[in-house]
Amino acid sequence: QKEVEQDPGPLSVPEGAIVSLNCTYSNSAFQYFMWYRQYSRKGPELLMYTYSSGNKEDGRFTAQVDKSSKYISLFIRDSQPSDSATYLCAMSAPPNEKLTFGTGTRLTIIP
């Protein structure tokens, strides 16, 4: 079993929809959780970062961490075609140590 599991998709939704992306993990030592966004032919870029459990909101994006269930989510509200990308979850324990990545979910927003 992989330490981090992520549904690879692909996921296609109409513009304006709410998107939910999820990862589960098995290592209870993970404390730092990130979401990276990767556009086609580009390297990943950090989108959201959260520490321990709870929610964090940044514009149309909300990251949730439930450490009791070992489950993290990224919600995208009012999705736009520019949100079409691959989203990778990543986590580490403690900070500035090696990140463990999910496999990535490929998302397409249909205009």
State the minimum distance, in angstroms, from the CB of residue 75 to other proteins: 20
- Which CB atom, from 10 or from 16, has the smaller least distance to other proteins? 10
Give Cα separations from 90 to 21, 45, 46, 85, 110 (angstroms).
13, 12, 10, 16, 26
**Is there binding between residue 58 and other proteins (CB under 8 A)?**
no
CB of 107 closer than 8 Å to CB of 85: yes
**Is there binding between residue 8 and other proteins (CB under 8 A)?**
yes
Among 43, 59, 68, 82, which residue sits at the site for other proteins (rule: CB under 8 A)? 43
**Is there binding between residue 61 and other proteins (CB under 8 A)?**
no
User: Among 20, 42, 44, which Cα is nearest to 34's?
Assistant: 44
